[in-house]
Amino acid sequence: MYRKIDFRVRPPYGNYLAMFQKEQAHFARLADAFDMTVSESQRTGSLEQFVMEMDEAGIDLSVVPVRKNLGEEGNEMFSLTKRYPGRFLVFPYADPTEGEQVLERIDRLVAEEDIRGVSAEPTFQPKPYAFDDPVAFPMYEKLQREGLPLFISYSAKLLPVVDPDTVRQLGVVIHQFPELKVVVGHGGWPWHLEVMAMGFNSSNVYIVPDMYGLSGAGSQDYVKAANTLMKRQMLFGTAYPILNVIDTARFYETCGIKESVLPDFFYNNAAKLLRL
């Protein structure tokens, strides 16, 4: 079994517990679609059971990119890192529309907590903004200066209207902030080829395929990229509780990623990015 860092998890804790009460039909539908099972922790919302499932899947550490529209910005999740030392790493939510407040909050969290990056969802927050909206530039500049990665959730599912222009917007950000490390959750699907092209041109672009790397249209593109041009920039993630962590880990162990590449995909790339 390979050591793993799961770069996309929303654990059964705090405000996220509501997901486990409301989304059971969704979990079942996706498990059926991807030929997986619904795990006990998905069914019950048991944090202790989830940690046991992490152990069974070989997951040493789960990264928690926080989502604002689920009623959470990160403060509550930091108590989770104290409850299970070394098992969870929180990327608190950062909303650049807050202006100076978000910059001050990042400074405070750097001083008070062990943060290794922040989470943002421009298209999916209560007050949306474009990736390349100048309102976000001070935050990008600060993250670039501080060496803090930015985790973004990016796929067609996160857009109220499917808009391919978001790929151009993201490209503008990567071009204007060339030292900013950007982690693209949900694999950038269905514009994953364009995001891979950005990664080919910039070693600071990372991709977490999570659910889109399993068996849907374009899933083999992630396997090919992990074996070749993105082998240092592809990161394992389960999107839990959308997916069962044990089944997802087993899938990626046998999906066609080369044995020589799997240690980087599962652990080394993320460990280097997180400065572990």
Beta pairing, strands 118-120 & 150-153: parallel
Element (H, E) at 140: helix 137-146
pLDDT in tens, 31-62: 898 889 999 999 999 999 999 999 999 999 99
This prediction has a pTM of: 0.95
Residue that has been written with the tokens 């474009």 in this structure: 130
The DSSP symbol for 268 reads: I
CA distance 14 to 225: 36
pLDDT in tens, 246-261: 999 999 999 999 999 9
Domains defined for the chain, CATH in brackets: 4-273 (3.20.20.140)
CA 219 to chain centre: 17
pLDDT in tens, 7-29: 999 999 988 988 898 999 999 99
pLDDT beyond 80 at 242: yes
Element (H, E) at 185: strand 182-185
When mean pLDDT is compared across 192-201, 210-219, 254-263, the lowest value belongs to 210-219
Percent of all residues in the chain with a pLDDT value above 70, rounded to a whole number: 98
Residue that has been written with the tokens 């997901």 in this structure: 19
**Higher per-residue pLDDT: 145 or 76:** 145
CA distance 21 to 24: 7
pLDDT in tens, 99-151: 999 999 999 999 999 999 999 999 888 888 999 999 999 999 999 999 999 99
CB 184 within 8 A of CB 164: no
